[in-house]
Structures are given as structure tokens and as C-alpha cells.
Chain A
Amino acid sequence: MHDACHREPRSDEPHRNLIERDARPLHRIHGLHFRQAARRHRSDGHPCYTASMAHVHFTHHLRRFFPALGDPEPVDAATAAELVAALDARHPGLAAYLVDDAGRMRKHVNLFVDGEMVADRERLSDALSPTAEVYVIQALSGG
């Protein structure tokens, strides 16, 4: 086990204020279908890099707003929705960058799981293998 496995979120995380202020349950912020995943991951404060976890690679554009993102970030999740909820539990506010109020994938954001684009952009029900490699990317757009 590496020391990096137990890295605490950086204290200068710019979105930490969202944790203190927002008392609403997670599912209210990011869509109903995240409820179960939120329950499952709320106490998951110490991500650990193991072979049985999905690993999430982020576009560098997101690091401007969430500098504490792992590279990659290990996440224990069975579906794409669970993955987003788990990420949001660690990086409050992150889900709102990936999905809209109703929990749908934002129009110009893509999740690739093991090389395949997520099929269910409405509910993110796509299953993840225990060792899924997940890429969060943004569509290219002009100036």
C-alpha cells in the first residue's frame, strides 16, 4: 500500500465551502438516482488504490476547479451513477460539473468506460467492471 493511497483532500480545495453550507442530501443536488450511491459512499473518506477499484482519469480542465483530483482516482462503484456520486462525496460540487440538476450527463461532457462511451446519458446506469478504466473528458469546442 502506498502512502498516496491515504492522501487527504487538500485543505485549499476551493469547493470545501459547499460541504459546510449545503445540508441537502446528495440526491437532491445531483438527481434522484444517486441516492443509493450516496448512501453507500458517504463514509468512504479514504480512497485506496487497489486492483478491485475503477480508476478515473480526468481532463486537466477540471483540475482548475478541483485541484485535489487524483491522477487517476480510485473509486469503488458498480455503475457510472455510483461513480459520479462517490466522486462528489470526495470532491463536493464535482457532480454538478458532470451532470445537470436532473442527474443527466451534461451535453458536452463524456464518460468513457474501458474505451466505450457511456450509453445511458440520462441515468448513467452503465455497469462498471471491478477494474474499469474511466475517462472524464469534455467535448472540444471553438473559441
Chain B
Amino acid sequence: MSETLLLGTRKGLFTLVDDGRGYAVTDLAHAGIPVQYAMRDARDGTIWAALDHGHWGAKLARKRVDGAWEEVQAPAYPDGEVLKTGAPATLEQIWIIAEGGEDNPDRLYIGTNPGGLFVSEDRGDTWELVRGLWDHPTRLGGMGWFGGGRDTPGIHSILVDPRYNERVLVGISCAGVFETADGGATWIPRNHGVTADFLPDPTSEVGVDPHFVAMSPTDPEVLWQQNHCGIWVSRDGATRWTAVHEPEGPAKFGFPICVHPDKPGTAWVIPGISDGKRMAIDGKLMVLRTDDFGETWTSTSEGLPQENAWDIVFRHAFDNRGERLAFGSTTGNAFVSTDGGSRWTSLGNHFPPVYSVRFA
């Protein structure tokens, strides 16, 4: 059985297929156009790509099974919606596209900058702003949501509970994790225990910066987040988070995090030095694994470059399917492991900067 990888890069969407003899690039779509994120909807086989034209704005494209790529209407912010600055809210970036769950086969979500979550109930033909989250009083009130690395806040993580699809958690930079249990009508912040050392009040409920949030598919009460300020895990459905990073690293700063599909206590991160030094530690690329809910972290680096490697891996550029893992870096390297990260094989060293990696 073949395995397929989608690499969203600054210069297009690369498809890599492993037919049993190793991965090879089989297709390049949207050549020359930045692909911020790409994924395959396992429910109907549609491949989705978030295009980030520098000049023409953020666009949305899809490729149905055996079909050609087509552009579909991207989400648009309603008239009169404003940012905290008072400026009109307009679509700046499509940051993530997510399935809406098995119970809602026509539902998809999109997370965007400047902070709007959009939902489609017709497989992406039309999109609607999720009002309950956009109108949450914390977005404009008090400190408000704000940008982390960009001018505006953005939604990068969307997690649908496989047991009950009306429960959804999102990760927002910078605001934190929010949860709905009623399909998006009402939302509550879920950041107890997460701290943000860059804030005037480091224990503020809203304003923290999860870089990426992952949910255990077998135990959706277990959630992991690689945060700007460390790594946290929750074992009670995000009610309370526990810090599990190493104060002096290497398990501390980074962007992506993966959780094992069958073992909720097993997760992987790819560390950088710090927020002020977003680069691989000591010029050595490594992946860290825990099998005990973050009590201990083990470095795995066999097959990864161990000198003059300064790669950083973005939040969507690391994915796993069982013990098979893959990641790509902003310096155009990509690697795969089929044994839980013990040994890594290069997929190529000259890709454009990699923004997203997803098993298809």
C-alpha cells in the first residue's frame, strides 16, 4: 500500500508517494505560488490547499478525486467587522483547513488571520464566520487577541473530538486555546496552567501563545501544546494544563507537536534554541520523543544532519501516522521516519521553504 505526503511550500504543493521503494516526488501543483497549508480530507478524498499569493490575496483551492484543481470562493469577513485597531477585518491568511468530523461529512473548518474561524456545511462551496468565537468578549475587550509574529491574531489549530463532533478546540496565536461543546455557538478559554512570560500578567487566561495544539485521537481528553514558552499537556480535556518542558531545554521552544494515535502519552517535538534564536540547537537537527506524558524526553537524531544544520520547522510542517513521521524545514530539507523517530531518511534537501507537511 502506498503512502502519500503533501508538502506545502513557498513555491507550490509537492506530492510525494512511497510505493514501497521510498518516497519520490510525483507532482508539483500551484508552481511558484506559496502554499501555506495543504491536506487531504479522508472522508471524500478531496485535497485542499491554502494559497498565499503575495499580491492577489489568500485563495482557496481544491482537487476532488480524479478532478482538476479548482479555485473556490475563499472565506470573506462580513461587512462592518473590525479589528481591535478599528480597521476593517479582511482575510489575510488561510492558516489551517480541518475536517468537521465523521458525523458531519459535509463540514469543514478554516482558521484564518486576523482571527476568524470559518465553517462550511457544504464541503467548502460556501463559508461562514463562526460568530460565537469571533464575538467572544476577549477578542476586543481588555488586552484583546493580538498577533504573534504577524500583525493580527490567527487560528492555526482546529481539533474536532472524534467522539462528539460538536466539541471543537482551536488554538489561537495570541489568545490561547478555546473550546466549544455546542458546535461553535459558545466558547470558553481553556488555558489554566499555561503561562506566558512575555505578558504583563504571565498567568493571564487569554493572551498565551500556543504554537500548535494536538489531540489524542484515542483519548480526546489528552491534549498537547507546543507553546511559545514551553510544552504543556492536559489529561482532563484542557481544563487544566501541566508544564512538561525542560527549563533549560532542549525540550522547550519549538513550533510543531505530534501525538501518537494509539498512545496518548507519546508525543514528539522538534526543538529550536529559543524565541530569540529560532534555529536548531548547536547546528544539530533533532526530534524529541516522550512516552510518559512529558516526564522525560529522549533525543532521536539518527539520519538527521548533525553539523551546520540550522533548520527550523514550522507548526504545520510535522505530521505522523502511527509510527511514521515526516517533517520539512524552512531551509528546504524534509525527512521521514517509519519507526517512531528512531531513524530518519532524507526526502530531499533542496525543496523551497516548507510550510506544511501532511500525510494524505
What is A's interface to B at a CB cutoff of 8 Å? Answer: 14-15, 17-18, 21-22, 28-29, 32, 61-62, 65, 93, 96-98, 100-102, 104, 106, 108-109, 138-139, 141
Contacts and interface: CB of A to CB of B under 8 A. Distances in A.
Interface in B52-66: 53-57, 59
A109 B57 CA distance: 10
B72 A21 contact: yes
A101 B91 contact: yes
Contacts of B91: 100-101
Interface residues of B, number: 20
Interface stretch (B74-82, B130-138, B317-325): B74-82
A108 B54 contact: yes
A63 to B, nearest CB: 12
Contacts of A65: 56, 71
Q: Which 6 A-B residue pairings sit nearest by Cβ, starting from the closest?
A: A102-B88, A101-B90, A100-B90, A97-B56, A138-B55, A108-B55
Contacts of A21: 72-73, 125-126
A32 B80 CA distance: 10
Contact of B70 (A17, A98, A141): A17
B76 A29 contact: yes
Contacts of A14: 70-71
B120 to A, nearest CB: 12
Given A15-B71, A17-B70, A21-B72, A97 B57 contact: yes
Given A21-B72, A65-B71, A104-B90, 10 more contacts: A18-B72, A29-B73, A61-B55, A62-B56, A96-B56, A96-B76, A97-B57, A102-B90, A108-B55, A138-B56
A106 B71 contact: no
Contacts of B70: 14, 17
Contacts of A98: 56
A22 B71 contact: no
A110 B219 CA distance: 52
Interface string B87-109: 01111000000000000000000
A8 B59 CA distance: 26
Interface string B196-221: 00000000000000000000000000
A96 B90 contact: no
Interface string B159-177: 0000000000000000000
A32 B79 contact: yes
B77 A101 contact: yes
B88 A104 contact: yes
Given A17-B72, A18-B73, A102-B90, A109 B56 contact: yes
A84 B59 CA distance: 18
A138 B89 CA distance: 23
B17 to A, nearest CB: 26
Contact of B73 (A22, A61, A62): A22
